[in-house]
Amino acid sequence: MSKLHLVFGGRVSDPQTLDFDDLDSIEVVGMFPDYKSAEKAWRAAAQRTVDDAEMKYVVVHLHRLVQPDLIAKPGA
């Protein structure tokens, strides 16, 4: 199974949250087939805006959203 990862980012109201200010201005960096390549893209995007504390990029594990049963259940 492919484990897709999405990397995106944008301006947040608080750098400790994921409350994006303007959803229309979200930058989609791309979709990646594995975490390693997604992390590389995330690091590059975050490094471009390192001096702007209100810019935040994240990696989303799309395979966990599409098939949540793949996430280990507590006590299982």
| CATH numbers and ranges of domains, the chain | 5-70 (3.30.70.2400)
Distance CA 40, CA 4 (A): 14
The model's pTM is 0.78
Q: If 0-12 CB within 10 Å is exposed, 13-18 middle and 19+ buried, where does residue 71 land?
A: exposed
- Residue 52: both structure tokens together: 């702007």
pLDDT in tens, the chain (76 residues): 578 999 999 999 888 888 999 999 999 999 999 999 999 999 999 999 989 889 999 999 987 777 666 665 555 4
Distance CA 45, CA 67 (A): 27
